[in-house]
Amino acid sequence: MSKFKETLTKDAGWKLLSVFIAICLWFIVINIENPVETRIFTANLDIINASYAEEAGKTITNADEIENTKVSVRLRGKRMVLDKIQQNKSFSAYIDISSIDMDSSPDEVSLPVKIKTGLLASDYVDTEYITPSDVDVFLDENVSKDFKVEAIFNGSVETGVSVSSDTIDPEYVKVYGAKGDVLNVASVKAAVNLDSPHNGQKVTSTLAAYDADGNILDNVYISRDVAVVTLKMETERKIPVQAQYTGEPADGCSVGKVTLSPNYVYISGSPDILSNIMYITLPDVDITGSTADVIRTYDVSAYIPQGAEVASNSDGRITVTIEITGREEHDISFNSDDIEITGTAQGTAEIEKDTFNIEVSGSGVTDDNISYSLDVTDLTPGEHRVQIDVSLPDDCSLIGQAPYATVIISEENQGETSQEEEAQ
């Protein structure tokens, strides 16, 4: 033991010097082989704790933009440490959403960009710069809105065949997302691809949200991914329309042509229903006592068999005209001398000179079988407008109102005084 101690302590100074020189040589070699360097690392920016915003009922509206942001960082450290970061691909950049106070923060928040290197505490590096050093985070309230599902059809069908949706399941869906994005949604549609379609076929179609310009919106969520659309296949046919009349026109008149405008209608429906429709009959037109053409307009949809309907390219309104012939119209003129005064006025009645015109409908009208009278019963002295009574033959009628004549009632004593003054 004493010999070992002697050997250990012998030339101790030289031995300590040797150790010191070895340590120095080690540091020299390390500094030559593993010098301090700077190196730039890049990575896409990550968002961590995004669920923190979701739990607060908010959405990061620019999340895609943030995650596509390239972050550049220059690190200073030993070559071996920097190599370790690069070889392990342990460098990353991120922002932490949990650092936002969701109750009081505005809708736009700037967060610092942080980095991870994956190093141990002993692997020391300095961060010289980060670009960008911070990013803006835009927050918006999460909302939902109900939309009725519409069907759109892709593909072609046979000529004369139309395709529509009989039912869509579900009929309504909810659209979720940031308030600004949901407000941009105009409709939710199920795109149906037609491949040898048949009536009643059920097609599973993907749902998508569209804006007012017909563009698909990818930044919202729909409560269902797909909908089941039941197809309704219809054909169109040009169906003739017919109408009859009932009753008899006025005496001296007869029925001329019966015309329909248009005299057909396009209707749509399943082929088995349309094959049994030969024509459409409108209600009879009553012409009893008519002296002029009788015109009626009908909405033909009320008279189409169940299971069919007026096609979209047809108006569906039919005008029926029953022509009435044989009645003549006459313009008659007469003057005040032709009018008989009837009744007793409170004075002397005189009709002011004038010419009158009336329009009479009927056959065999002459001046001899028309009479005119004017009732002055109880009229007081002064000037009056009184309607003329026009008496016509039984088979004739007055078109419009009878004219009015001006009647002047004079006091009888004034007339006698004037005569006595003239005699003097």
Tell me how far apart the alpha carbons of residues 151 and 85 are, in angstroms, rounded to a whole number: 54
| Predicted confidence (pLDDT) per residue in 74-131, tens digit | 999 999 889 888 888 888 999 999 999 888 778 889 999 999 988 775 678 899 999 9
**Residue 422 reports pLDDT greater than 60:** no
**Residue 407 reports pLDDT greater than 50:** yes
Q: What's the pLDDT score for residue 415?
A: 47
Q: What's the pLDDT score for residue 320?
A: 95
Average pLDDT over residues 352-380: 88
CATH 2.170.120.30 is the classification of domain 329-420: yes
Q: What is the DSSP string of 90-141?
A: --EEEEEGGGS-TTT--SEEEEE-EEE----TTS-EEEEEEESSEEEEEEEE
3-class DSSP assignment, residue 311:
coil
Write out the two tokens for 342: 């009837």
Tell me how far apart the alpha carbons of residues 108 and 96 are, in angstroms, rounded to a whole number: 15
Tell me how far apart the alpha carbons of residues 209 and 219 are, in angstroms, rounded to a whole number: 9
Q: Do the two domains 243-325 and 329-420 of this chain adopt the same fold?
A: yes
Average pLDDT over residues 206-228: 94
- 138 touches 61 (CB < 8 A): yes
**Residue 381 reports pLDDT greater than 70:** yes
Tell me how far apart the alpha carbons of residues 35 and 28 are, in angstroms, rounded to a whole number: 10
Decide which of 2.40.50, 2.170.120, 3.40.1710, 3.90.320 is the CATH code for 33-132: 2.170.120
**Residue 58 reports pLDDT greater than 60:** yes
Q: What's the pLDDT score for residue 418?
A: 47
Q: Residue 381 has what DSSP assignment?
A: S
Q: What's the pLDDT score for residue 326?
A: 72
pLDDT: is 15 or 321 the higher one? 321
Which of 66-80, 156-170, 271-285, 295-309 comes out lowest in average pLDDT? 156-170
Q: What's the pLDDT score for residue 69?
A: 94
Contacts of 58 (CB under 8 A, 6+ apart): 102, 139, 140, 141, 142
Average pLDDT over residues 9-25: 61
Q: What's the pLDDT score for residue 424?
A: 44
Q: What's the pLDDT score for residue 66?
A: 94
Tell me how far apart the alpha carbons of residues 167 and 139 are, in angstroms, rounded to a whole number: 38
| Predicted confidence (pLDDT) per residue in 232-264, tens digit | 887 888 899 999 999 998 877 888 889 999 999
- 342 touches 391 (CB < 8 A): no
Q: What's the pLDDT score for residue 217?
A: 94
**Residue 417 reports pLDDT greater than 60:** no
**Residue 321 reports pLDDT greater than 60:** yes
Q: What's the pLDDT score for residue 28?
A: 55
Tell me how far apart the alpha carbons of residues 11 and 16 are, in angstroms, rounded to a whole number: 9
Fold of 243-325: RNA Polymerase Alpha Subunit; Chain A, domain 2 (2.170.120)
3-class DSSP assignment, residue 293:
coil
Which of 204-208, 342-346, 390-394 comes out lowest in average pLDDT? 390-394
Average pLDDT over residues 137-147: 92
ω into 249 cis (within 30 of 0)? no
Question: Domain residue spans in the chain?
Answer: 33-132, 141-234, 243-325, 329-420
Say what percent of the chain tops pLDDT 70.
87
How many of the other CB atoms lie within 10 Å of CB of 338?
A: 16
3-class DSSP assignment, residue 363:
coil
Write out the two tokens for 277: 């429709």
Q: What's the pLDDT score for residue 4?
A: 53
**Residue 14 reports pLDDT greater than 80:** no
Q: What is the DSSP string of 326-351?
A: S--EEEEEEEGGGEEEES--SSEEEE
- State the average pLDDT for the chain: 86
Q: What's the pLDDT score for residue 411?
A: 86
Decide which of 2.60.120.260, 2.170.120.40, 2.170.120.12, 1.10.645.10 is the CATH code for 141-234: 2.170.120.40
